[in-house]
Structure 1
């Protein structure tokens, strides 16, 4: 796809629902509607994640205030807070268009009185840098100016349901100008950034107002259009354990099939975003997988699992892609987990826990990811450590340790948790989706029990017992007949609710936990998408939501699509696909939530999980 075609198929700047993103597994950047640089960021071995941006600092007094956190997140999407912008006179803002070409590169087309400008950005392989090129055709006398107003800082981590806020950190970056290069150094972060300009003429100067700019003649000359190339690099300190190895992985191409309601575009966008911006190299052959690269560059085992599964689904025979999952498993079971301790709610890119809350389901996803890797690739990944032990033996030891420490309670051995998968406090200790996930994990590990030396865990019998125990413990009367409760205490008390975060319940028939025509599952899902469920949102674009954040959740839409596919309801599936295609960004990515009446994005403009789940549904695989 040419740049012109990509821009023509894109959106006007005013209609763009989210910034466009670009990364190469080492650094990740975001661009505004006119191509302005909003951020460039990278994992940091001490401070989690650092970025250069023009956004205001997050006021520490806003911690614990969801409205303030959402307001700040909104600022991060706005062009007015760009750290670098190309300014041209008398721009026709309504005519600015943005799109993504077939290689996943963001492209823009800008016009104004006497000029037009084509913009392309790309990520050089295996460099901690992003490049953007402007090609300007202009009448004589038209001048262009690059204006810089950025700073280096630690990512704010503006969480809605925060448990352990980061300690305040004062950063005072310094800017130095050296001809064509602008350098920013933050000694508190031991991090350096460089903005290098390649243009026919000009240099960085300080303007009378104290700002920094590069001005040059943009008018057409004998040599034709003027080209300005900007390279922004970001260099945090070196990671322990060795240099980056094989960081850049090209997203696999998938068939573009118009018969699947746009899921091919969403799957493609998710793959590019994961491999470029969330599955980031942290040295020593390890990769973290973050929930996003701007708002919350943290790792939840839950979010990371579905991203890793999409990589396995999309390219099971592409070693470069499956090696990303291998590198994540090494990180997850190595730096991402201290021996003898559970995984916490979230972890920093270097593996340290961030939010010190324990969720039962997040102890299961790492084991499930490992089983999926073995099933898809036919081999065990290289385990963390010195590698002196046979991989299957070492993985068996690690799994056994986690399995023995699972929070089982009651005579049925169900898993209890103080927080549910929405990161909210549990009202009753046992969550339905966690028990279904528990069964699924046991069932997926069971075929490798002897190979792993885990026969003493009786995984197959555990799975069989859970398939019997869960319906008994969770069945209660609902508005559409007997159904499964959202939570129970195992002593006859039940909570009727269903949340967009609880994918395992919707996936239960696809995974094989119950049949496609199981009456209790059907009643549970009917309840979930009805006014009887407080998690349901009504409206023209209504659907399943969450108490966590208002609006229709795209994860809820993914659940509805799974239910429609399971029940053979083609009209319902088509309706979900039509709605999600309308909501999706030009790059195929999805928000956390959108307005139930208008379809406009409400929360988390950066969020890898929903598009990853739709990508998995595109491939017809959910891990079973």
Structure 2
């Protein structure tokens, strides 16, 4: 769910076993003829933010009057509390909760701050549309046609109940409205039946509530959005985390770790069956699964699993570890057993159902991340040993290893890719950070087989040999002198012969982690890596570095401007090199560009630090949260105090 600053609904989404995700929102469905119109796609994504910026309320119960002194509490994973008062002297407390039957309940309690009775207008606005998630991408890889928009709406005359049905989606929303006020005459609607195509419902009614001093009035709106297609989904029961206690002293670090943990578990993990969980990159712009994003999201959960005893009380730690264990195992089950691979390779992105969103575009790095995730899972959660052994003996991993070997160029020994990790086409077929990943995955798989034993199709010695050959070819063909800086460094792209592209992108996380992972085996290679990162974080990195303003830094040609993912790279590089001043500056930028809930956008303005692209983007928050848990930001994490926060 997403809300505006008044607590009304901007989006309510639910898993659909046929369409992946269906949404209830106050604006019309994406225009299915404009998937390749990047400006339109970006504009459509920003509608939620535009509502907030214009103080335009979403659908649901609206309390009239300008709001002031708002506070938001999100301590419980299934509950949000918003409190504010109006200039007319009305105190408003709104609680939005998800009940056990998955009904969403918006409970509004009104009281007067004055000594006399106050009459305040309230409005029930049912202007909403039931749509499929668009899955529109800036780098479109093959749109999935949208079902025809059709909103069939009916409301009771007194506004006590309503239904919204989209038969083309096989989805339905149902609502009930009630008030605990004896003289409340209810909401009177005159247009009680509507059939709309390509437009939201237009339906609202206003009533007045008389508030007597000392007598609260409760207004309740219940909504249930559901698929009408049979599903095997049986959502695992959630633990009661209401009394969770966190003990990390640094409030910003705690907010980033806790906020991204709650967002990831609450909005980005979709259990599609009792044993499988899809992880989506965000719940607004692209509710799709990407192996790349998913790895870093799940890796953050593993870091929390390992370190939670340092940031939370023992009872909270046990509850979250149980939850995280279920999600990690569920996602591995989803990516290895549910995600379809019609051409044997993993596709660029997936619907929650496991159906590929894009065509057979070959992204080299996407083939690597699930394998590393499996290796990591066993390292962080040892009781997954038998689960990991079963996957090793299945066909998926041998298939992916075979595909990589088939793709390997016989002349130069490198592995081609159709696109970069930013989903952009490549000028030359061989991409550096993806080769660091290929080397790393062969090395990690070899280690896993040494622990669990070889299989009929996978042998540790062969994978060790593949890792060594990949490392040799990568060094041979990517180390080159940059004509701008006149220093040896790793090129971004190469043709495998004499041509190179010198660039570095915020999406290329493996490059900054190459030293930690052991890729730089000699002092000479460590120097090459250092020169690469110095170039990456400088104006010489044309199209990748946006240095103007106090928030300037590493970004991407994919979305121009500084990225929080760039701040993460700056932080890690400074920590590895022992540059305390650079680390402090990176941490300052991170703190100042995080939202109030600890999340981060895709890109920011270099002068103001304000979001310029994709407000909901789970990947950077997970990377930064992991860095904090690993003490990359200095002495933030060890500052634990005895009293609970």
Question: Is the TM value for this pair above 0.5?
Answer: yes
Displacement of 1:364: 0.4
- The range that moved more, 227-236 or 453-462, is 453-462
Distance in 2 (alpha carbons) for counterparts of 1:269 and 1:142:
35
> C-alpha offsets along residues 424-456 of structure 1, whole Å, 9 cap, x if unaligned?
001111111101111222222222214252226
Distance in 2 (alpha carbons) for counterparts of 1:396 and 1:87:
54
Q: Give SS of 1:194's match.
A: strand
- The range that moved more, 239-248 or 354-363, is 239-248
Displacement of 1:396: 5.4
Distance in 1 (alpha carbons) for counterparts of 2:265 and 2:186:
35
Which of the numbers 337, 340, 344 marks the counterpart of 1:341? Answer: 344
Q: Give SS of 1:195's match.
A: strand
Displacement of 1:222: 6.8
Alignment-derived partner of residue 117 in structure 1? 92
Alignment-derived partner of residue 598 in structure 1? 608
Alignment-derived partner of residue 483 in structure 1? 489
> C-alpha offsets along residues 458-516 of structure 1, whole Å, 9 cap, x if unaligned?
22333334334322221111216111111112212111000110000011122222269
After superposition, residues 438-449 of structure 1 pair within 5 angstroms as 438-449=438-449
Q: What RMSD over aligned residues (CA atoms) do the two structures have, in Å? A: 2.6
Asked if 1:314 corresponds to 2:314, the answer is: no
Alignment-derived partner of residue 259 in structure 2? 269
Displacement of 1:207: 4.8
Structure 2 alignment gaps of length 5 or more: 195-201, 307-317, 633-645
Distance in 2 (alpha carbons) for counterparts of 1:254 and 1:469:
48
Q: Which has the larger radius of gyration?
A: 2
- The range that moved more, 440-449 or 173-182, is 173-182
Which of the numbers 27, 31, 36 marks the counterpart of 2:8? Answer: 36
Distance in 2 (alpha carbons) for counterparts of 1:160 and 1:106:
35
> C-alpha offsets along residues 180-225 of structure 1, whole Å, 9 cap, x if unaligned?
3222111111111122234214545325799534655433237612
> C-alpha offsets along residues 274-317 of structure 1, whole Å, 9 cap, x if unaligned?
11111111124211111111111111100011111111110247
Alignment-derived partner of residue 311 in structure 2? none
Distance in 1 (alpha carbons) for counterparts of 2:205 and 2:471:
66
Count residues with an aligned counterpart.
Answer: 583
After superposition, residues 106-505 of structure 1 pair within 5 angstroms as 107-124=82-99, 126-138=100-112, 139-178=117-156, 180-200=160-180, 201=184, 203-207=186-190, 211-213=202-204, 215-221=206-212, 224-238=215-229, 240-246=231-237, 255-258=247-250, 262-316=252-306, 318-338=321-341, 341-356=344-359, 357-380=361-384, 391-392=389-390, 394-395=392-393, 397-406=395-404, 407-411=407-411, 413-450=413-450, 451=452, 452-453=454-455, 454-455=458-459, 458-478=462-482, 479=485, 481-505=487-511
Alignment-derived partner of residue 66 in structure 2? 92
Displacement of 1:549: 1.0
Displacement of 1:374: 1.2
| Aligned residues of 2:191 and 2:203 also touching (Cα < 8 A) | no
Distance in 2 (alpha carbons) for counterparts of 1:348 and 1:381:
28
Distance in 2 (alpha carbons) for counterparts of 1:381 and 1:337:
24
Alignment-derived partner of residue 197 in structure 2? none
Distance in 2 (alpha carbons) for counterparts of 1:110 and 1:355:
47
Q: Give SS of 1:551's match.
A: coil
| Aligned residues of 1:119 and 1:134 also touching (Cα < 8 A) | yes
Alpha carbons of 1:568 and 1:249: their partners in 2 closer, same or farther (altered >3 Å)? Answer: farther
Distance in 2 (alpha carbons) for counterparts of 1:393 and 1:362:
18
| Aligned residues of 1:499 and 1:544 also touching (Cα < 8 A) | yes
Displacement of 1:337: 2.5
Displacement of 1:420: 0.8
Alpha carbons of 1:333 and 1:319: their partners in 2 closer, same or farther (altered >3 Å)? Answer: same
Asked if 1:553 corresponds to 2:563, the answer is: yes
Asked if 1:70 corresponds to 2:73, the answer is: no
Distance in 1 (alpha carbons) for counterparts of 2:496 and 2:460:
27
Q: Give SS of 1:145's match.
A: strand
Asked if 1:529 corresponds to 2:521, the answer is: no
Displacement of 1:96: 5.2
> C-alpha offsets along residues 222-276 of structure 1, whole Å, 9 cap, x if unaligned?
7612122322221113554353333678598654232xx8333212111111111
Q: Give SS of 1:141's match.
A: strand
Alpha carbons of 1:343 and 1:522: their partners in 2 closer, same or farther (altered >3 Å)? Answer: same
> C-alpha offsets along residues 540-562 of structure 1, whole Å, 9 cap, x if unaligned?
11111111112211111111111
- Normalised TM-score (structure 1): 0.87
Displacement of 1:30: 0.2
Alpha carbons of 1:106 and 1:415: their partners in 2 closer, same or farther (altered >3 Å)? Answer: farther
Displacement of 1:621: 8.6
Alignment-derived partner of residue 57 in structure 1? 29
| Aligned residues of 2:4 and 2:58 also touching (Cα < 8 A) | no
> C-alpha offsets along residues 51-78 of structure 1, whole Å, 9 cap, x if unaligned?
0000133223432122111111111323
Alignment-derived partner of residue 24 in structure 1? none
Distance in 2 (alpha carbons) for counterparts of 1:324 and 1:123:
19
Distance in 2 (alpha carbons) for counterparts of 1:248 and 1:429:
47
- Normalised TM-score (structure 2): 0.84
Distance in 1 (alpha carbons) for counterparts of 2:29 and 2:102:
24
> C-alpha offsets along residues 348-399 of structure 1, whole Å, 9 cap, x if unaligned?
111111111220100000111111111111144776xxxxxx9436545431
Distance in 1 (alpha carbons) for counterparts of 2:594 and 2:607:
16
> C-alpha offsets along residues 96-135 of structure 1, whole Å, 9 cap, x if unaligned?
53434433535242422131212232333x5323333222
| Aligned residues of 1:69 and 1:160 also touching (Cα < 8 A) | yes
Runs of 4+ in structure 1 off by over 6 angstroms are none
Alignment-derived partner of residue 520 in structure 1? 528
